[in-house]
Structure 1
Amino acid sequence: MTTTTPAEPAERIRVALVDDQALFRTGVRMLIESQPDLQFVGEAGDGAAGIDLVRRTRPDVVLMDVRMPVMDGITATSRIVDEQADEGGPSVLVLTTFDFDEAAAKAIRAGASGFVLKDADPEFLLAAIRTVNAGTTVFAAAATRDLLRRFEDRADAPTVPPAFADLTPREREIFDLAAKGLSNAEIAGHEFVSEATVKTHISRVLTKLGLRDRVRLVVFAHEHGLVGRDAAGA
């Protein structure tokens, strides 16, 4: 009689953690180590040490606190994204105490792939890690709504970037739906096209506007007052 053992995942997701609270780091490390498809590669207590950790361990995903001594998470995120850009680099998932604040917004502009609340359910954090590693962005609950409100309340009139004029009418339609938070499947249903077609349009939109991903697209759209703009003309 022969016995077999369950096969381990061919390639585990390498996760690094940067946070100044030792107890929080211990909890997250234990959570990640309990997952067969995740590998905890190291931790750091401030942004500067976090940059060095990323250089040494080459993680796939970095969990990054926003407010830390020595160097904050925004600066660290920006440097990690810039340094690792040519090599693909890790996805940075920001950890924040609030649904959406200015610090989280700055982290997204700096290159983070999304953010989750520190008190999120363990299952949500694990799902967020897997999601950003797969190339999809993650927003904490209610964050998109808070983002919209933040830019709607601004007193200064936004300007339309010249690059927006390079989008075709169909690309502007896709842009608007993506900026409103619709998924590829929802956009496909709305436009009566395939998800593959939507992905192609999104990729072209990001390239023309010089944006890294859909998180930046949402921020870009609301910063410049482009949500709901007539698709036929800028």
Structure 2
Amino acid sequence: MTETAAETPARTSTIRLVLVDDHAILRQGLRSVLEREPDLTVVGEASSEAEAEAVVRACKPDVALLDLKLSAGSEFEGLSLCGKLSAANAELGLLILTTFLDEELVVRAVQAGARGYVVKDVDTTELVRAIRAVAAGESAFDARSAAAVVRSMNRHSEPRQGLTDRELEVLRLLAAGLSNSRIGEQLYISATTAKFHVSNIMRKLEVSRRAEAVYAASKRGLI
């Protein structure tokens, strides 16, 4: 059931949207469907990562709908964009709207700053509900992506020697000498999130420096 204004937390009367998809016809279709809702208005569109960053800066939307595939050369360019927009716009609600449904992708999108993840064949009512939830600062997942998140959380709930799977990924890149920014780029997360993981790794390994973390991890057979 579609939410009414009275059922959602306080927000501005109109939710400003930016649509990011490399197919113009899909953006046009989305715009036509979404603007039938009295509280939704599309203030900008973009077909690439660079366009999206510029449009978001110029239009200051409440929610950005992002596809993961924005070019023929990159399957998941949208993950990189999600991380960049999240880092630069703390209040922006990021909602992934894509054809891809993969547990790792859903988790990576969340780690990159997405508040929601829905697959493109979702019905209009559910999409509108997700947009309103994300605009209100809540999470929004369709049934399939929510199940993927739960499965991933269950799989990661038993850390290896105190480190989660994600922390082990960060640790391997740390051992390769990558900075927080480069680790973030490799894992499609923000530099701040990478720094958080590095701090957790050092705390769990009971060391105070990055080099000591690599040495301790090597001795324990983690890398």
TM-score by length of 2: 0.61
In structure 2, the residue matched to 1:121 is 123
- Corresponding position: 1:55 with 2:60: no
Question: Residue 54 of structure 1: CA displacement?
Answer: 0.3
Query: What letter corresponds to residue 157 of structure 1 in structure 2?
Result: R
Structure 1 segments of 4 or more deviating over 3 A?
A: 98-101, 150-156
| Aligned pair partner of 1:96 in 70, 95, 98 | 98
Point out where structure 2 has 5 or more consecutive residues left out of the alignment. Answer: 1-10, 165-191, 194-223
The Cα offsets for residues 4-29 of structure 1, whole Å up to 9 and x where unpaired, read as: xxxxx973110100011122111101
Aligned pair count reads 152
Distance 2:108 2:141 in 1: 14
In structure 2, the residue matched to 1:17 is 19
Distance 1:10 1:93 in 2: 18
| Aligned pair partner of 1:159 in 162, 170, 174 | 162
Query: What letter corresponds to residue 34 of structure 2 in structure 1?
Result: I
Indicate how the Cα distance of structure 1 residues 105 and 31 shifts in structure 2: closer, same or farther if over 3 A, else same. same
Point out where structure 1 has 5 or more consecutive residues left out of the alignment. Answer: 1-8, 162-209, 212-234
Question: Residue 148 of structure 1: CA displacement?
Answer: 3.2
Question: Residue 34 of structure 1: CA displacement?
Answer: 1.3
Q: Is the 8 A contact 1:19 1:46 kept in 2?
A: yes
Query: What letter corresponds to residue 113 of structure 1 in structure 2?
Result: R
- Percentage identity across paired residues of the two chains: 35
TM-score by length of 1: 0.58
Question: Residue 78 of structure 1: CA displacement?
Answer: 0.9
In structure 2, the residue matched to 1:82 is 87
The Cα offsets for residues 163-204 of structure 1, whole Å up to 9 and x where unpaired, read as: xxxxxxxxxxxxxxxxxxxxxxxxxxxxxxxxxxxxxxxxxx
Q: Is the 8 A contact 1:18 1:63 kept in 2?
A: yes
